[in-house]
Amino acid sequence: MKFFASLLLSGGLLLTSAGAFAQTAAKTKGPATETLQLKTSAVCDMCKARLEKSLAYEKGVQQASLDVPSKVLTVTYRPDKTTPEALRSAVQKTGYDANDQTADARAYERLPECCKKTNSTH
């Protein structure tokens, strides 16, 4: 009988933790997010760090990650907080081209020599 009771108890605990898990999963999913991919003029890991940091400070951005070989920046964002246009402009203001849009000239000038697009990927 004691055994049976403890079996019931652990079964109850299991159910409770399963319920808590489902709740956490729903929570981390959060509000709807969208993903935007931008082709940039980044050339190296410094560019990657610079762009990812810059985007991380943008309103509504949840995650930004640059793939150096393909120069593609993938941004996960909240469409209720920002727009693809704002994100593209953030990339330009960091000194990089975003898709067919040219980098902000002043920001580009401030980039270290090795990060300018005249340099090939290294």
**What are the residues binding Cu ion (CB under 5 A)?**
43-44, 46-47, 115
Work out the burial of residue 33: count CB atoms within 10 Å of its CB; fewer than 13 is exposed, 13-18 middle, 19 or more buried. middle
Give residue number: closest CB to Cu ion. 115
Work out the burial of residue 113: count CB atoms within 10 Å of its CB; fewer than 13 is exposed, 13-18 middle, 19 or more buried. exposed
How far apart are CB 116 and Cu ion at their closest, in Å?
8
Nearer to Cu ion, 78 or 116 (CB): 116
CB atoms within 10 A of CB 54: 18
How far apart are CB 71 and Cu ion at their closest, in Å?
11
How far apart are CB 122 and Cu ion at their closest, in Å?
8
Torsion from C-alpha of 65, 69, 71, 72, nearest 10 degrees: -50
Nearer to Cu ion, 37 or 121 (CB): 121
How far apart are CB 50 and Cu ion at their closest, in Å?
7
Nearer to Cu ion, 46 or 86 (CB): 46
Nearer to Cu ion, 44 or 86 (CB): 44
- Distance in angstroms (rounded) separating the CA atoms of residues 51 and 105: 16
